[in-house]
Structure 1
Amino acid sequence: MAGVQERLRRVALDTRPLSFAPYRRLLVGQGVSFIGFQLTAVAVSGQVYAISGSSLWVGMLGPVSLVPLVVFGLWGGAFADAIERRRLLLIGSVISWSATVALLLHAWSGLNSVPVVLAAVAVQSIGFAITSATRGAIIPRLLPTERVAAANTLNFMVSNFGTVVGPLLAGAVLHFGGFALAYLLDAILFGAGFYAAVRLPRIEPLGEISRPGLRSVLDGLRYIATQPIVLMSFVVDIIAMALAMPRALFPEMTAERFGGSSVAFGWLSASIAIGSVTAALFSGWVGRVRRQGVALTLVIALWGLAVAAAAFARPLWLVVTLLAIAGAADLASAVWRQTILQTYAPDELRGRMQGVFMVVVAGGPRLGDLRAGAMASAYGLVTAWALGGLLCTVLVLIVGFAVSSFRRYDAFARRQETG
């Protein structure tokens, strides 16, 4: 019996980072706030369509949010390496909250202006970019290095939980209370994240401080280009998302195989996140993996294979199960990529590394949407879906094992080097 309990402890979610109060507050605040963020994301899409009656305007939400994410993700990361990080997190939080309040006032006013909604979404993306880059640079300062991987698992688990709960909550809220109630709830839930940021200790940047600006951003990009291990953590993620992200094909699969059922569409949309949350509950082993480069390559190959297999599945339960397996692989991938960045790069570059990480995380799936949509239009649903997954698997195995330093990377040895 004792042996079984020990094995269960080794695979169960590692909650030891929760013993550190500042991190615990940050995690809970992030989780609650992210539910509100997802609630608003669904409400915004619905409101834009209700006002315009056009999917094109709904599609414009993508570039309107992506451009600020790219620009201010890099810029915010540079500032996170130059000024006190708690203060920057608070600034970014206020920017995000002001955008939510603007959406709320717009919904109450009855103005029904798509440009106003798009402008608010752009401002919200600015705040999100700044806070995401800054929060990623803060976490390694709150915890011992050996707890960072477990902390990242917890972070991605609560984010994926919000990705499941937020849209489901949005459906009920929009049905009973409309867009204004959705934005009001987001504004209230946001208070949890703001409170957590207020309670953080002061976190001054360490090491050589670079003046934030274009030169500082370029210095961060130059560091990535000269560090194969860091560079590869971005390359393999771009391969995974650009080639194998299937979400743009969910509506077509719903229409072709499941009669346009909104229930089926909801399960497809939530399937990857469901797999990630489930995997996080049994992720105690993730932080004990030494060869994170090899492990990262293999789980992305698994992601591609699971996505490809889902293209041929017919029952809804099987499609959802395969995509959930892909989501489980994505959870491990995200944890190791984030951990490599937070523990490999020196503190004076962590903000910029997190800025680039956020840009890749936000931009990769959007490239995947474009790739999937274009291929489906040219070659059909199954070819676009399955071929993308297979190409991802083949390419990531070739690239991941071709770079020797990435293949040999030992996370435990790196911890000893950095103390």
Structure 2
Amino acid sequence: MSRAFIDVRPLRTSPVFRRLLIGRTVSVLGSFMTMVTVMYQVWEMTHSAAWSGAVGLAQAVPLVCFGLFAGAWVDRGDRRRIYLAATVGQAVCSLLLALQAFTGHVPVAGVLALVAAQSACAAVGGPAAGVFVPRVLPKEQVASGLALYQVTAQSMMLIGPALGGLMLGWFGLGVCYLLDALSFLVAFHGAFGLPALPPEGEPSRAGLHGVVDGLRFLAGHRVVRGALVTDLAVTVLSMPASLFPLINEERFGGDPRTLGLFMSAVAIGGVAASALSGTVTHLGRPGLVMLCGAGVWGAALAAFGLMRSPWAGLGLLVVAGAADALSVLSRTTIVQTRTPDALLGRVTAAEQIVGQAGPHLGNMRAGLVAGATSGATALVTGGLLCLLAVVWVAAGTPQLRAGVPVPESP
């Protein structure tokens, strides 16, 4: 029975991993608090849905524009030093956000510029941090370490927005931004004790050549490519968040309490599945788990689009969140165990782009389809398209279908 719970061996055996996990958890909490704070500030400044939507654009565009180049840079130098520099940059952006909140003299475009600058720093820091777990843990514990990363991130996704709202009400904008800056300092401390982490193998070529080498690897490695295509299918074809208010209005009378539960149900499923991921990580078959999880996500959302009972709908969203959490964990395990270290920065950057930009594209797709038809139609068609895409990936990538075992330590 104990094997069903999340494997905590990395916490027991690696003090370095413990520090990294604490720093990352605190930083993720601060980031979710800031997400709420920025959205609130922009709305208060403009009372415009278009400007509120621009917050997501300011976060996504730097990741897409700079991500692969940042990954190539990461694969040329000391990943520890690059991560520390990027973390300092994010903390400085939070301090500047706090300063403008206290002074009140910056226009909304200036706020979004600071958000974009912080996202550009994250585009560098994310690929650098992507090599930490496989370098500090033995290979048989990598999946367990990633599961611990995920369960803490999912928990902060539940706690962060609510805590951010409370802090806003009690202390105001500036204090929330200052807390985010402090959270980055905790992340800095977590990584400061790492040794130098240069790439193992031939360093990336400079500039566009290094980017092309990374893309060539992705095009040629069927397993890693299949993992990223599966994630695109989940995010672009069946992202449901933008449809929840419409579905709530169409099916459940527009009750805000129901809407709030819908928003939380996916995260609750993700936390529960991550906490009970021990069986999956011990199984050592991330490819098969990823495909099954992505397929269940699509099927559960399609069924949710047909539901008339809010409680049955909540149950399906919990199932969808659990399936997605296991799929994400398995995809990340595949990327970090099947990619050579010298290319890991660039591949992690591509994974970050898919994970960040994909949901924005998926919400836009869902909104367009719902505008032309209905919210239920957008959900059902998106879920079914996701399921078909997963079947297509599975059929074309027998290595994933067979399981893609994680390498074991000698």
Q: What band does the TM-score fall into relative to the shorter chain?
A: over 0.9
Q: Does 2:271 correspond to 1:277?
A: yes
Moved more, 247-256 or 297-306: 247-256
**Counterparts in 2 of 1:154 and 1:58: CA distance versus 1, 3 Å:** same
Alignment of 1:111-260 (within 5 A): 111-260=105-254
User: Distance in 1 between the 2:61 and 2:184 partners?
Assistant: 23
Match of 1:12 among 5, 8, 17: 5
Q: Which runs of 5+ in 1 are unaligned?
A: 1-7
User: Distance in 2 between the 1:314 and 1:183 partners?
Assistant: 41
1:293 is paired with a residue whose SS is helix
Q: What is the CA deviation profile of residues 330-358 of structure 1, one whole-angstrom value per residue up to 9, with x for unaligned ones?
A: 11111111111111111101111111110
One-letter amino acid matched to 2:320: A
Tell me which residue corresponds to 2:93. 99
1:147 is paired with a residue whose SS is helix
Task: Note the C-alpha offset of 1:363.
Answer: 1.4
One-letter amino acid matched to 1:228: R
User: Distance in 1 between the 2:403 and 2:250 partners?
Assistant: 45
**Counterparts in 2 of 1:95 and 1:287: CA distance versus 1, 3 Å:** same
Task: Note the C-alpha offset of 1:152.
Answer: 0.9
User: Distance in 2 between the 1:57 and 1:409 partners?
Assistant: 44
Q: What is the CA deviation profile of residues 78-106 of structure 1, one whole-angstrom value per residue up to 9, with x for unaligned ones?
A: 12211111101101101111111111111
One-letter amino acid matched to 2:53: G
Tell me which residue corresponds to 1:327. 321
One-letter amino acid matched to 1:85: R
Match of 1:264 among 258, 264, 278: 258
Percent identity reads 39
Moved more, 143-152 or 402-411: 402-411
Give me the CA root mean square deviation. 1.6
Moved more, 263-272 or 43-52: 263-272
User: Distance in 1 between the 2:119 and 2:277 partners?
Assistant: 30
Q: What is the CA deviation profile of residues 150-187 of structure 1, one whole-angstrom value per residue up to 9, with x for unaligned ones?
A: 11111111111111111111221222222222212212
Retained in 2: the 8 A contact 1:309–1:386? yes
Task: Note the C-alpha offset of 1:403.
Answer: 2.2
**Counterparts in 2 of 1:255 and 1:175: CA distance versus 1, 3 Å:** farther
Tell me which residue corresponds to 1:298. 292
Q: What is the CA deviation profile of residues 167-220 of structure 1, one whole-angstrom value per residue up to 9, with x for unaligned ones?
A: 111221222222222212212222221110212222222111123421101100
Moved more, 94-103 or 207-216: 207-216
**Aligned pairs, number:** 409
Match of 1:87 among 70, 81, 88: 81
Task: Note the C-alpha offset of 1:260.
Answer: 4.1
User: Distance in 1 between the 2:37 and 2:87 partners?
Assistant: 20
Task: Note the C-alpha offset of 1:299.
Answer: 1.3
Tell me which residue corresponds to 2:62. 68
**Counterparts in 2 of 1:261 and 1:120: CA distance versus 1, 3 Å:** farther
Moved more, 398-407 or 293-302: 398-407
One-letter amino acid matched to 2:54: M
Tell me which residue corresponds to 1:405. 399
TM-score (norm 1): 0.93
User: Distance in 2 between the 1:151 and 1:143 partners?
Assistant: 8
Match of 1:345 among 339, 347, 350: 339
Match of 1:376 among 370, 377, 396: 370
1:201 is paired with a residue whose SS is coil
Q: What is the CA deviation profile of residues 119-176 of structure 1, one whole-angstrom value per residue up to 9, with x for unaligned ones?
A: 0110110112212111111210000011111111111111111111111112212222
**Counterparts in 2 of 1:266 and 1:127: CA distance versus 1, 3 Å:** farther
Retained in 2: the 8 A contact 1:291–1:407? no
User: Distance in 2 between the 1:170 and 1:318 partners?
Assistant: 30
**Counterparts in 2 of 1:254 and 1:29: CA distance versus 1, 3 Å:** same
Moved more, 193-202 or 34-43: 193-202
Moved more, 243-252 or 222-231: 243-252
Q: Does 2:16 correspond to 1:22?
A: yes
Moved more, 174-183 or 336-345: 174-183
Retained in 2: the 8 A contact 1:249–1:381? yes
User: Distance in 2 between the 1:355 and 1:408 partners?
Assistant: 27
Task: Note the C-alpha offset of 1:112.
Answer: 4.9
